[in-house]
Amino acid sequence: MSTRGRPRKFDRLQALEKILIQFREKGYEGATLVDLITAAGIAPPSFYAAFGSKQAVFCEAVDHYIATTAAPVIAALQQETTLHQALSGMLQQSIEVALSCQPGGCLLIVGVVNCLPENQQAREYLKSMRALTRRFIRERAELAREQGEIRSEADCGLLADYFHGVMQMISLQAREGATRNELLALIAPALQSLSFFQ
């Protein structure tokens, strides 16, 4: 039976990963619908049928990024025995993610830097995902506090904000061309800050 005239099937996941690259390299505002449709390799009607709006596909791309590329960062934070080891592992994995994401950098950090008012929802979505990362760090710090690794009155929220800031710095420096060794050199000074909470 002839298949001539049938629409070509496409790999949705593969298309999403190509769209993710566009967002990572150009940010939400820099990546146009033409860029996204071209990257996906499908006609506009198929793009809208598969992904909906630009905002919808951006949120889906962020979710995919977190579930794949960024997952080892949180895994390292949760798997290690001590807080020092957990934060060290998290920062090391952050470096791996930052270097693997060149030239765009970490999507959660650079996805929407200068967001226009009409794109506020995309910015808020990224903000909520970054808040989730801070929550994971805070919860790990709270566990360490319960176990006596840090002072009983230590501010775990402040600790989470600080180390999340270090992760952002790593991503931005990687985007500007910092080498692996240069980024790894940032870990020891960051971990010394734990003495403030002990």
pLDDT in tens, 148-168: 999 999 999 999 999 999 999
pLDDT band, residue 8 (cuts 50/70/90): low
- Min mean pLDDT across 9-13, 42-46, 151-155 is at 9-13
> Hey, where are the domains in the chain?
12-196
Does residue 82 register a pLDDT over 90? yes
Residue 101 has pLDDT above 80, yes or no: no
Spatial CA neighbour of 17 closest among 5, 25, 7: 25
Q: Could you tell me which CATH class the domain 12-196 is placed in?
A: mainly alpha
High-pLDDT (> 90) share of the chain, %: 61
Burial class (CB in 10 A: 0-12, 13-18, 19+), 134: middle
pLDDT tens-digit profile of 126-140? 888 889 999 999 999
Confidence check: pLDDT of 115 > 80: no
| Averaged pLDDT of the chain | 87
CB atoms within 10 A of CB 195: 8
